[in-house]
Structure 1
Amino acid sequence: MDSITLTVNGVPREARDVRPHLTLLNWLREQGLTGCKEGCAEGECGACAVLLARPTEDGGTRLDAVNACLVLLAALNGQEVITAEGLGAPGTLHPVQRELAYRGGSQCGYCTPGFVVSMAAEYYREDRPAGDFDLHALSGNLCRCTGYRPIADAAQALGGVAEHDPFAQRCTEPAPPPQATHLTTPDGEFHRPTTLAQALDLLAATPGAVLLAGGTDWGVEVNLRHRRAPVTIAIDRLPELQTLSWQDDHVEIGAGLSLSEVERRLAGRIPLLEELFPLFASRLIRNSATLGGNLGTASPIGDSPPVLLALDARVVLASREGEREVPLADYFTGYRQTVRRPDELIRAVRIPLPLAPITGFYKIAKRRFDDISSVAVAVALDLDGDVVRSVRIGLGGVAATPLRARAAEEALTGQPWNERTVRAAARLLRGEGTPLDDHRASAAYRAAMLEGALLKFYFEKTAQEVTP
């Protein structure tokens, strides 16, 4: 098999001689669909945005905006894609396109198709009240000449979806299921198994294979560093990795769920994660990125590990031999190294219940949104009156791995939760990890931000609760 089929703008197409590392963006442009642009090749600009038809829990379809530069074409066998050209054309403009044109939302036009796509995804959001538009849906889309005000004006001018809108009708029908895929080419192999057992068999046979979930990290490696894998195994649509369940003593989150899907299903029931989601890259990225992928790359500046460490999360690792559960605090062993064996994959993340009642997440970066952390601090606190019953502090960006702030936690546990105690612990927090000087921040700045984050948590979250 060296070809796949997919539906693009309502028309079935066959892609022949598919190379395992060819991106959807490059293939679309080869087909003449040049509204999809390359601006950065790393998911930062949004010029390449397209809509993917994804399944909803009730059997319908959700149109998710994603970065085509990070999606491998081979991963879309049997799937459905809509580009800006498929939404409307001159003379039959889509409401989003019409509002952007009417309100002056485009000058050079390079970024406009990406804005159109992201705006359309929000336009068709199933729980969007008519006349309401979440401008954060446009995060990850950059414009350097028009200015954002007319684009925001266009978004906020959109009303409800018309009764017979063809895309709204499409969303009432099932999304295409994932198709088993096996490509063998001179450039490498690509596999999409349809069950976890199949995936684990493949992984056991090819322990050096790259596991592909959302692709938001691997896509950058492919585009900018020209990395190639002998074998790629797509696991993002495995049913066993798409679950989210609440048990008496924990909540289990499937490692293959996109962050946007996790956010929808949790619906705010884990407040610390709810604080994380808006600060984790952009909506375009969160529509693809997964907790499993974020933990699998083991980056010391990943945004989810500090939060999951504060939540005392555990990682469920699966292989053909069975499953094992590892505390996240013991999972990282070195720079981008973990206890996960080559024949294992991350099946789920488990968060113990009950949750700590007072939590906070602080991400220090050069931009408030859609940026890489210089320092990240997550805190989960449980008080017995005004005494610290337990506290967990997760840190990112200050060592070769994400880590727990053990010294500060020990200094706080069993002590009165007051300004004196917190200031003493905050001074200890300055010395946690091994912060470095780099282009994002100096070591001294990182140490100061660690101290400041704990103080900020105290004054913002708890000072009024325990101080007369």
Structure 2
Amino acid sequence: MIDFYLNGQRQQCADVSPDTSALELLRLFLGKTGTKEGCASGDCGACTVAIGEPDGQGGLVYHNANACIMPAHQLHGCHLVTVEGLARGDALHPVQAAMVDCHGSQCGFCTPGIIMSLFTLHEDQRHRPAPLTQERLESALGGNLCRCTGYRPIRDAALSMNEYPDTHPTWADDPDLPRNVETLFTDATQASRPAPRETTGYAMPRDLASLRELRRQHPGSRLVAGGTDLWLEVTQQLKPLEDVVDVHQVAELNTIEETADGWWVGAAVTYRRLEPLFAEHYPAFAHLMHRFASSQIRNRATMGGNVANASPIGDTPPVLLALDARLALDGPEGQRELPIDSFFLDYKKTALQEGEFIRAIFLPRLEERQLKVWKLSKRREDDISAVLAAFSWRLDDGVMRDVHLAFGGMAAIPRRAPQAEAALEGQPPAPAAFEAARAALRQEFQPLDDVRGSSEYRLVAAANLLERLRLMLHKETQTRHDNNTAEVCLDAYAH
């Protein structure tokens, strides 16, 4: 049974298969066809909806999400808002009115998703008034593609929506709605036993003990957290998912624990929740988040899922390799820790044993080390890497120490470049040392050719990113000596 609120009305849906998406639930079970299917892979944003959850202060906070790759069962205990739920009779919501007046829609297929992303932005501005900067606008709409109008009318609508009267939806008049959703949400998250997977094929444990037991009984079940990758097996490969264990509400997997040496991040913590930690302690990681998928994905995707997925072009693993991160693994046979560079074995093959799962990832403090992360992709936002480089080092009396050079997109697994690291270790950041490191890269990697880039392109790009690091270090040295602030190269961001 999926028990949730839809546009202010309680819904209870029974006999929903484990691999049903929120989009299918809306269109096929509930007859709400305003939400469209475009790419069915979380790329275009046509299926964007708003998910409301309790904010802990008696209200609801909304985030946008791709309904096409969201497990329908994860709607349990939430308030789902779709494009049908925004207007107040014939009076349009400010976002809708602005889109009409600014001619932000042509064929209209992508418009519902754009409307819902702007709705969550509008809600955020209502509760946290702040100037609508270009950065905030790009973050809100980076996961929505439009094939007709171009983006200027949509941008104009976003910039003007706050000038319209606050014609809020009828459901927003209900003072009991936040409390009712909170009660449902609390009931959904505090149950101490797994859901009856025998009848649904979908289990949602709430604590670590229940998860371990499920893994003991069903070691072959598929684990899902945000669903942003696993659900592509359903939508793109048409594979059924008949035995699913949902970990996104396991309490122990949702914690961020600070220690003297760093932070243990639970495997089910979303990237959205990690953004403040990155901004304060890992600015290069925070900068990468501008190019990590889209807001719809960051609201749901987890670091644990990105690591466990073991994709050679995942954005997170090279950064974790550069940081010397560690993994806490768990399962029916007990717990163990593993350095992340021992986790990836071969393409899509990891060190996880039968029934095991990732419980947490340890992020060491940078201390005196520096970190740089650069991503190359065809689109600036909402795209997969062709090459991603994560470099970490420290300067000790003018020479480089603890050099870590990690790459994604260069091999069957994300991995470091030990020969190139050795060429830089103990050397000043001079042209000769970096030339040797670039030569070593060609001996260490034999990338594949694919649609994102040829093998030669990737080799050249990786070497150029090393040269960019040298130029950056040279610039910093020159700045200290002669206050020269010339840019090394253009930054690939509008903000």
Which TM class, normalised by the smaller chain length?
A: over 0.9
Q: Does 1:4 align with 2:7?
A: no
> In 2, are the aligned partners of 1:236 and 1:256 still within 8 Å (CA)?
yes
Whether the 8 Å CA contact 1:276–1:307 is kept in 2: the answer is no
Q: Provide the residue aligned with 1:136 in structure 2.
A: 139
1:254 maps onto 2:282 in alignment: no
Shift of residue 241, structure 1, vs aligned partner? 1.2
Report if the CA contact (8 A) 2:404-2:416 is conserved: yes
Equivalent-residue separation in structure 2 for 1:171 and 1:310 (angstroms): 46
Confirm whether residue 381 of structure 1 aligns to residue 393 of structure 2.
yes
Measure the CA separation in 1 of the matches of 2:58 and 2:470: 44
2-side partners of 1:248 and 1:171: how far apart? 42
Return 156-165 or 295-304, whichever deviates more: 156-165
- Which SS does the other structure have where 1:252 is aligned? strand
User: In structure 2, which of residues 17, 20, 30 is the aligned counterpart of residue 19 of structure 1?
Assistant: 17
Q: Encode CA deviations 1:51-102: one digit per residue, 9 max, x unaligned.
A: 1123547675321100000012123223221111112255221111111111
Structure 1 match to 2:69: 70
The AA in structure 2 aligned to 1:303 is D
Pairing partner for 2:158 from 150, 155, 160: 155
1:396–1:402 Cα contact (<8 Å) kept? yes
Q: After the TM superposition, which residues 160-179 of structure 1 pair with which residues of structure 2 at under 5 Å, given as runs?
A: 175=182, 176-177=185-186, 178-179=188-189
CA deviation profile, 1:217-259 (whole Å, cap 9, x unmatched):
1111111111223310000121111111321111111110111
State the match for 1:464 in structure 2: 475
Residue identity in the other structure for 1:129: A
Cα gap change, 1:160 to 1:98, in 2 (>3 Å):
closer
Structure 1: which amino acid aligns with 2:147?
Answer: R
Larger deviation: 165-174 or 204-213?
A: 165-174
Cα pair 1:249 1:352 within 8 Å, conserved: yes
Matched residue type, 1:159: N
More helix by share: 2
Amino acid at match of 1:24: A
Shift of the 297–136 alpha-carbon distance from structure 1 to 2, 3 Å rule, reads same
Unaligned runs of 5+ residues in structure 2 are: 482-495
Conserved? CA contact 2:234–2:241, under 8 Å: no
1:335 aligns with 2:336: no
Give how far 1:172 is off: 7.4
1:182 equivalent to 2:181? Answer: no
The equivalent of 2:208 in structure 1 is 196
The structural deviation recorded for 1:164 is 9.7
Cα shift at 1:131: 4.8
Please state if 1:37 is matched with 2:51. Answer: no
Query: Over residues 414-461 of structure 1, what are the superposed CA-to-partner deviations in whole Å (9 max), with x where a residue is unaligned?
Result: 11122322222122223333311122211111110110011112213x
- Tell me if 1:236 matches 2:235: no
How many residues were matched structurally? 463
The C-alpha deviation readout for 1:167-202, integer Å capped at 9, x for no partner, is 5989976742335533445xx711011111101110
Q: Name the SS of the counterpart of 2:443 in structure 1.
A: coil
Match of 1:300 among 312, 322, 325: 312
Which amino acid in 2 is paired with 1:423?
E
Match of 1:428 among 403, 426, 440: 440
Is 2:287 the partner of 1:275?
yes
User: 1:80 corresponds to which residue?
Assistant: 79
Counterparts of 1:417 and 1:393 in 2: how far apart (Å)? 14
Structure 1 contact 63–171 (Cα < 8 Å) conserved: no
| Unaligned segments of structure 1, at least 5 residues | none
Tell me: CA distance 1:356–1:289, structure 2 relative to 1, closer, same or farther (3 Å). Answer: farther
The answer (yes or no) to whether the contact 1:417–1:466 under 8 Å persists in 2 is: no
Shift of 1:160: 8.1
8 Å CA contact retained: 2:215, 2:356? yes
RMSD (CA atoms): 2.3
Q: Which amino acid aligns with 1:142?
A: L
Provide the C-alpha distance between the structure 2 equivalents of 1:402 and 1:60, rounded to a whole number of angstroms: 42
Moved more, 119-128 or 224-233: 119-128
Q: Is the 8 A contact 2:374 2:388 kept in 1?
A: yes
Range with bigger deviation, 261-270 or 399-408: 261-270
**Identity score, percent:** 39
Q: TM-score, normalised by structure 1?
A: 0.93
Find the aligned partners of 1:68 and 1:337 in 2 and give their Cα distance: 29
